[in-house]
Amino acid sequence: MKTAEIAQRYLTFFEKNDHLIVPSASLVSDDPTLLFTVAGMVPMIPYLTGVVPAPHPRIADVQKCIRTNDIEEVGRTARHGTFFQMLGNWSFGDYFKEGAIRYAWELLTSSEADGGLGFDEKDLWVTVYETDDEAEAIWRDIIGLKPERIQRLGRADNYWNTGQPGPGGPDSEIFFDRGPAYGQDGGPAVDDNRFLEIWNLVFMQDFIENIRGKTEFDIVGELPQKNIDTGMGLERVAFLKQGVENMYESDQVRPVLDRAIEISGRPYGEVHEDDVRFRVVADHVRSSLMLLSDGVRPSNEGRGYILRRLMRRTVRSMRLLGVDVPTFPELFSTSRDAMKIAYPVLETDWTALSTAAFAEEETFLRTLAQGSTILDLALDETKKSGQATLAGSEAFLLHDTYGFPIDLTLEVAEEQGLSVDRAAFDALMQEQRIRAKEDARSRKRQLADVSVYRDLRAEGETVFSGYDELETESRVLGLLVDGAPVSSATEGQIAEVVLAETTLYAESGGQVADKGTITGPGFVLDVIDVQRPVPGLVSHTVDVRQGTVSVDAVATTVVDAANRRAARQAHSATHLVHAALRDTLGPTATQAGSLNRAGYMRFDFNWSQALSPETRTEIEDIANRAVQDGLEVTTRVVSLDEAKAAGAMALFGEKYGDVVRMVDIGGPWSRELCAGTHVRTSSEIGIISLVGESSVGASNRRVEALVGADAFRELAAERALVSQLTASLKTPREQLVDKVTDLAAQLKTAEKRIAQFESAQRADRAPGIAKEARAAGAFQLAAHDLGSVESADEVRDVATAVRDVLGAAPAVVAVSGLANGRAIVVVATTEAARGAGVKAGVLAKLAAGVLGGGGGGRDDIAQGGGTDVSALPAAFGAIEQELQRA
């Protein structure tokens, strides 16, 4: 039974049982404390907690999930995957334990001919919470499961909670017995490899507080509404129904594994570590493709970093399988073909997705080449210094700065007969993890518990009337100070205000929040920010400037008209630039993020090459012609299907319901789904001036523009600058570029002549310094202090010039200088000296140690330095003593 068929059977079954079927939410979670949707229940949290009313008392879905906390286990077990799909059915105050158990058992054990999954009852076991007599009785007396196949387990296994104060409850898990070949008998309490969990039924009935750990918390009461939250792993059911060993060999994953086998030429099923690598490739390619399809792009932070890590682990695994050439074009297209039945977007958006994937692979292959060069140099220096271990700091630098994998560093070092100080590397990695976790905790502490909005949201959605007016009278529904509900807020306090209606725009769709005030009898509030903490609710963060504001008070929202007008200009300009980009570059230049505020806009788009000045000018011209044409801007509220049929562009990062707002500029010339505020005609924008274009990733570019009055002021400033230059250089404007270019060339020529003159001067000093050479054992030593110098290059030039004068003699040159308060020493050796075993790098390091610093380099020339300038005579003396011992 194919994976897609299992999912369809699941949805069909629950649809027949009065469940509303909802599409999967994005892998990019709405929860600000999560990077991704890590579990099937994440999108349902607002309904489960009662913050937002559920659209139907019964829901079923197939939810896409990404979880990377067990990434090192991928490929090593039958069930660990970074991307997985969770089948879920939900009851919000409707059916409870008996209903959930009946539905699960019926679907699992009904024959395939009757639409079920066809599992044999004798292969199924269940666990229940240790005190849940009710659930055990349902399984035993109503379902008819034999008592010996019902096991009771404790909080660690059969109690669910979010890890935060709030809802929780016992659960009942259903397991499939894979048979004696997979482990010992005795049920899931004995062996969770043989007995594989496939479905978890959570009976959300308790309110918990004082959480001290996974199993340490207090159940303080019952929830007013009991809910059902179930999750069945689609991949687990698929590999069981398909009779294969693990999820990597199921129909949506195995094709990539097979393609990797073909590319590498290595067998599957013979070498354990190779098998793990094949499975890592199959898993990570699919996960990366699904993240790309939800708008994530590789980067060095946040979600983009996770995606980059998955993609680079794939490249690394293929390298360990003996493949050094690009493989993403074949692997990703294979994954697309395996997944497109379930997710058609993979085919429709293939050009943009593949462009991002292929660019990332090319970038990392270059990184590996660069890192290999740096590693080779570090290993060479380690061997030359007589050490057998590469410093952990060197390995960490390669990993942290260049993205060079530690396992590759270990492998290359071993090939050259060296080890790596893994303990030091791991310590540095742990320090980095601690910093990252602390940063994450810091961000999380700044977030209010969204449950405080439950009662406010229960009164209905906040009405936004700001499209048509800038001022409206409303009522204060609630107040929060420091994240806690209060009855009033007084002068000088920072508070959150929730109103029944507002004209102030909440930040979304790339448009920043409105500025303005909220006034009422005896109070004035300055608006700092406007956000939507939960769907449908608008919260205003305010500074209480005057008086006291209380719950139920009459309040009037007043939008800063000038700021709103400039914000409208910028947002409409963003749409025009998007259209101009697609007109110039083609339909693959799709949006990957935006920001617009009064007078400014930036727009990120999928593109892998820098824009030429001519292309930038063309984009700017197209957008400004649209401004000049005075195109009508219209908005319509339509169904999502109608908007898609009309060709409306969806914006990155936005979540859409069944009804959407569609913004047209010039009819279909620019048509996007957008909740932002806009001008009435394009001519109101005034002017768009592109001021920047840059890279924000391997396959993403960013354009920035000033809009309206800000653009005019920027252009006026540039005009004034040009006027000053033409007057100063006495050159007509049209000849200014040539004049500046000519002056720059003259300056470069002059600098070159000066450098040549200074070099000749330094060379002239060489014979005199060479004459100062004295015997040091079997060698001649020419040691000289230049005093203050501009840079180390000056010291190096003199040292090499003196060495040239000394010629064939076995001689060593040591020249010092003082630059920026630091002593510099350069050591140069003649060929005869090197033939006698003298190495410049060793002597430079020795001298630098005396100066309180470090140094080293090649055998023929090396450099060191330190801060103890007074120790220069001693540094020269140390070199002389070393030569006398040689």
| 806-841 burial code (b ≥16 CB/10 A, e <16) | beeebbbbbbbbbbeeebbbbbbbbebbbeeebbbb
**Which tokens hold the place of 563?**
């700021």
At CA 6, angle to CA 4 and CA 8, rounded to 5? 70
**Using an 8 Å Cβ cutoff, are 370 and 402 in contact?**
yes
Give 815's strand partners. 784, 826
d(CA 748, CA 733): 23
Between strands 389-390 and 419-420, the pairing is parallel
Residue 674 annotated as binding site: yes
**Using an 8 Å Cβ cutoff, are 495 and 479 in contact?**
yes
Find all residues with CB under 8 Å of 275, minimum gap 6, and list them.
75, 268, 269
**Which tokens hold the place of 864?**
């060191």
Q: How many CA atoms lie within 13 A of 303 on its CB side?
A: 23
Strands (E), 439-588: 463-464, 471-481, 484-486, 488-490, 494-499, 501-502, 516-520, 523-534, 537-550, 554-559
Answer positive or negative: Cα dihedral of 28, 31, 36, 41: negative
Q: Which residue has the tokens 């792993």?
A: 233
d(CA 499, CA 369): 58
First to last CA, the chain: 79
User: If you write DSSP's letter for every residue of 617-683 in order, what string do you get?
Assistant: HHHHHHHHHHHHTT-BEEEEEEEHHHHHHTTPBPPTT----SEEEEEEETGGGEEEE--S---SBGG
**Contacts by residues 645-649 (CB-CB < 8 Å, ≥ 24 positions apart):** 646/671, 647/671, 648/672, 648/673, 649/578, 649/590, 649/591, 649/673
Residue 65 annotated as binding site: no
**Using an 8 Å Cβ cutoff, are 334 and 256 in contact?**
yes
d(CA 94, CA 45): 16
d(CA 198, CA 108): 10
Between strands 501-502 and 463-464, the pairing is parallel
User: If you write DSSP's letter for every residue of 702-737 in order, what string do you get?
Assistant: EEEEEETHHHHHHHHHHHHHHHHHHHHHT--GGGHH
At CA 485, angle to CA 483 and CA 490, rounded to 5? 90
Residue 80 annotated as binding site: no
Find all residues with CB under 8 Å of 830, minimum gap 6, and list them.
803, 806, 807, 808, 809, 810, 811, 812
Find all residues with CB under 8 Å of 168, minimum gap 6, and list them.
159, 160, 161, 162, 204, 206, 207, 208, 217, 219
Find all residues with CB under 8 Å of 485, minimum gap 6, and list them.
452, 478, 479
Position 235: which residue type? E
Between strands 537-550 and 523-534, the pairing is antiparallel
d(CA 622, CA 666): 13
Nearest residue to 603 (alpha-carbon basis) of 700, 711, 672, 697: 700
Q: Which residue has the tokens 């690394």?
A: 316
d(CA 104, CA 92): 17
Give the burial class of 563: count Cβ atoms within 10 A of its Cβ; 0-12 exposed, 13-18 middle, 19 or more buried.
middle
**Residue list for the binding site for Zn(2+):** 571, 575, 674, 678
